Amino acid sequence: MRSTPARWTAQRLTGPDGGDLLPPAMPSAQATARANVNVALVKYWGKRDPALNLPATGSISLTLDQLSVEADVAFGGGSEDRLEIEGAPAEGEEAQRLVRFLDVVRGEAGSAARATVATRSTVPRAAGLASSAAAFAALALAASRAAGLRLEPPALSALARRGSGSAARSIFGGFVEWRRGERTDGRDSVAEPLAAAGDWDLRMVVAMTTRAPKSVSSRDGMARAAASPLYPAWVAGAEADLAEARAAIRARDLEALGTIAEHSALKMHAIGLAARPPLLYWRGATVECVHRVWALRAGGTAAFVTIDAGPQVKVLCGPADAARVAAALETVPGVERVLACAPGTGAEVLG
Ligand code: PMV
């Protein structure tokens, strides 16, 4: 096993997209890291550069506890990458995506070494929650360490972004903003923390519905959305939405944050409805969950929905209301399980 990158020169002291990079202290050829999932409050929906995963707009998210992915990466030996997800060999498009990501890491490290990768997830199988954000954040950390790179958080965020856009945010805990950036090379399109997990105790109650037939991937959904007549309005409103969310987080104002989060999510899904062909991620249970939350709100509970590229509903509320929100969602036909998550921490090296 090779334990150092093949090349390491002063010219390579920048990470992916030019972020800061520290010289390798004690390069090791293997590493394990863990990262939590995050849920966007102001959504990322549309790319200005699909190859580099550069977003058309900025986004703001909350990293959650309990739902995480662990990744082991070892470089060296073998003529091809050996990839395992949840104990089974990765296949097809999933495998290709992992290899493409490892190629980015190899490019940065100046190495051609093949990798052995294994990922494990605590995200329940029926959750229907995209765990790619947690997976690529954990992989970015583990693979860069294993390749002997010591990336500063912004460079790590840029690397995670190459695997999955939203993974850029899972490098950090708590409330996180991923900046759109202006540069064509993506150097300035990285996430940064707005408030740590312990700074504001909120809950995100996740209603897991029966797994629906495989729906449209977020990549394909974004491509379709870009052709929607409503898409220009989405881009035009992004800065105002981000400013509103930032101010709400600064003020620890749940009502204000929930209001803009719900608006951002519903606006994102409205773009799909207006697209040709149309795009609708919701199932019956999704709609019913939204109505249950609105009924709670009419009764005075500060609870707000957000929905990603799937049928699951996530509800932002205060800790004291989480049990009431969970009880309201559990009885919706089609909801299999409800989980109340607190703010979670950022990606960490386990070994
Ligand atoms: O990171 P991707 O390519 O899986 O896209 C994520 C898209 C949404 O989850 C719908 C929104 C977001 O900001 O996370």
CA distance 71 to 80: 18
CA distance 119 to 45: 26
Cis link prior to 277 (omega < 30° from 0)? yes
Q: Is 229 exposed, middle or buried (0-12, 13-18, 19+ CB in 10 A)?
A: exposed
DSSP 20: B
pLDDT, residue 209, reads 84
Ligand 1 neighbour 308 (Cβ under 6 A):
yes
The amino acid present at 241, given as its one-letter code, is: D
pLDDT tens, residue by residue, 209-256:
866 556 788 999 999 999 999 999 999 999 999 999 999 999 999 999
CA of 189 to the centre of ligand 1 (A): 15
Ligand 1 neighbour 179 (Cβ under 6 A):
no
Ligand 1 neighbour 121 (Cβ under 6 A):
no
Tokens (6 digits) for 206: 């996740």
The SS3 call for residue 315 is strand
Helix (H) or strand (E) holding 105: helix 92-109
CA distance 52 to 254: 34
Task: Tell me the average pLDDT across 277-303.
Answer: 97
Closest residue by Cα to atom 6, ligand 1, is 166
pLDDT, residue 16, reads 53
Binned at pLDDT 50, 70 and 90, residue 23 comes out as very low
CA of 165 to the centre of ligand 1 (A): 7
Decide which of 290 and 217 is more confident.
Answer: 290
Ligand 1 neighbour 36 (Cβ under 6 A):
no
pLDDT, residue 10, reads 27
**Is 50 exceeded by the pLDDT of residue 157?**
yes
**Is 60 exceeded by the pLDDT of residue 136?**
yes
Closest residue by Cα to atom 10, ligand 1, is 308
Tokens (6 digits) for 246: 């930032």
Ligand 1 neighbour 62 (Cβ under 6 A):
no
pLDDT, residue 213, reads 56
Ligand 1 neighbour 131 (Cβ under 6 A):
no
Tokens (6 digits) for 192: 């940064």
Residue 187: C-alpha distances to residues 51, 53, 301, 334 (Å): 14, 12, 42, 43
Contact 163, 139 (CB under 8 A): yes
Closest residue by Cα to atom 9, ligand 1, is 308
Ligand 1 neighbour 286 (Cβ under 6 A):
no
Residue 159: C-alpha distances to residues 5, 15, 104, 346 (Å): 17, 8, 8, 15
Contact 68, 37 (CB under 8 A): yes
CA distance 160 to 171: 8
Task: Tell me the average pLDDT across 153-160.
Answer: 97
